Structure 1
Amino acid sequence: MKLSTKTQSFVMHFGEMGSKWGFNRTVGQMIALMVIHEKALSADEIAEALSISRGNVSMGIKELQSWRLVQVQHIPGDRKDYYTTVGDLWQMARTVFEERMKREVEPTLSLLRSQLMDSADNDKEAYALQQMQEIHDLIEMLTQWSASLNSLKPETLQSVMKLGAGVTKVLEFKNKFSNSEK
C-alpha cells in the first residue's frame, strides 16, 4: 500500500506526537493510519504502508488493544485478521483519556493519599506534606472536572469547548465588576 505525500506526512507527524501522548512512534503511526482509512487494514497492509516489520505491527496492535483503541474484524472467506479503530474520534479521545487516568493520574493520587496519611516528623517534612496536599487537591479537582466533561455527550462537549474563551471573558468581567464594587 502506497501512501500519498499528504497521508504520509500526517501519519509520520502522528508518530512523533504519539511519543508525547504515551505511545511509541510506531504505535502513533499505526493508529493514525487506521483512523484515516475507511476499511479495516490487515497487519501486512499496515507493515507495507509504514515500512515496518510484521512483528512490529503485531506488538503495536497488542499495545493499541491494551489501550482499547483497535478491534479485530474478520472478512468472510479470508483467514487474515483486519484491524480498525474502535468508535469515532470522540470515543477514541475519551478512551485515551480514561486510559491515561488509569495509568498516570490514579497511581499518583494513590501515592499522595498514602503519604498524606502519615504525620510529619519535623518542619521540613510538614512543609513537604503541605505541598503534597496542595498537589493532591489540584489533581483531584482537575480529575473531577475532567470526569464531568468526559461524561458529556460529544455535541454538548463541543458546545462547551466553543464557549471556552467566552467563559473566560465572562469570569474576567465578573471579577472586574466585583472588585469595582469594593
Structure 2
Amino acid sequence: MKNLSPLAERFVLHAGEMGRHWGMSRTTGQIYALLYLSAQPLNADDIVDSLGMSRSNVGAGLKALASWRLIEQAPQPGDRREFFMTPDDSWEVLRRFVVEKRRREVEPTLLLLREVLHREALQEDERQDQARLRALYDLLDLVNSWFDDVQKLSPQTLERLMRLGSRVARVLDALPPGRRE
C-alpha cells in the first residue's frame, strides 16, 4: 500500500477483513476504508495506486459500495474522471449501512416467514415449526418496526438514547402502568 501511514494501512487491512463479515468483499472493505480516511475525493486510479489492486477489482468495489449507498460521487471541476468520497456524517453512514442490511437480509426473511405462516399446517410437526417461526417472525417484525421509528430520530436524540443504555428501563418503570406500552 502506497502513501498510507501505518495507522491508515492497519485500518484499511482491518476493514478488508471486516468487510467479509459485513457482506462485502475484502477489496470492497479496503476501498471503503481508504475513501473514509481520505481528506479529498479519490478516483479509481488513485485507489489502484494506493492499494495496489487491479483496476477491475477497484471498479467492482466502487460499484458494490455505490449499491450499498456508502459512497457518493464528487465531481471535480475540469476533470472528467469520476471521483468518490464517503459521507462526512458517521451517523448517516451507519444509517445507510443498516438500511441496506435490512433490505438485503431482514426483509427477504420476513417475506419468507409471512409466506410459510399463511399456509395451513397439515401435520403436528409443521404446527410446531410454524409456532417457532411465528415467534421469530414476531421478533423480526418488532425490530423492523422499531428501526422505522428510530430512523425518525435526530442523530443527537439517538445518541442520547443510546447513552442511556439499560438506564432507559428506569424511565419506563417510572411511567404510570397505562403508559408503558
**TM-score, normalised with respect to structure 1:** 0.89
Over the residues paired in the alignment, what is the CA RMSD in angstroms? 1.8
The answer as to 2:134 corresponding to 1:133 is yes
1:87 shift after superposition: 4.8
Give the equivalent residue in structure 1 for 2:53: 52
What letter corresponds to residue 116 of structure 2 in structure 1? Q
Deviations 1:53-105 (A, max 9, x none): 11111111111111111122222222221111135211111111111111110
Q: Runs of 5+ in structure 1 lacking a partner?
A: 175-182
1:142 shift after superposition: 1.2
In structure 1, C-alpha distance between the alignment counterparts of 2:39 and 2:89, rounded to whole Å: 12
> Is the contact between residue 68 and residue 86 of structure 1 (CA under 8 Å) also seen in structure 2?
no
In structure 2, C-alpha distance between the alignment counterparts of 1:119 and 1:36, rounded to whole Å: 53
Q: Runs of 5+ in structure 2 lacking a partner?
A: 174-181
Equivalenced residue count is 173
The answer as to 2:168 corresponding to 1:167 is yes
Deviations 1:137-173 (A, max 9, x none): 01111111222222211111110110013225x38xx
SS in 2 for 1:125: helix
In structure 2, C-alpha distance between the alignment counterparts of 1:145 and 1:77, rounded to whole Å: 46
Give the equivalent residue in structure 2 for 1:68: 69
Give 4+ residue runs of structure 1 displaced > 3 Å after superposition: none
Give the equivalent residue in structure 2 for 1:91: 92
SS in 1 for 2:74: strand
Give the equivalent residue in structure 1 for 2:111: 110
SS in 2 for 1:99: helix
In structure 2, C-alpha distance between the alignment counterparts of 1:148 and 1:29, rounded to whole Å: 32
In structure 2, C-alpha distance between the alignment counterparts of 1:15 and 1:148, rounded to whole Å: 32
**TM-score, normalised with respect to structure 2:** 0.89
> Is the contact between residue 14 and residue 29 of structure 1 (CA under 8 Å) also seen in structure 2?
yes
**Percent identity of equivalent pairs:** 39
The answer as to 2:44 corresponding to 1:43 is yes
In structure 2, C-alpha distance between the alignment counterparts of 1:110 and 1:92, rounded to whole Å: 26
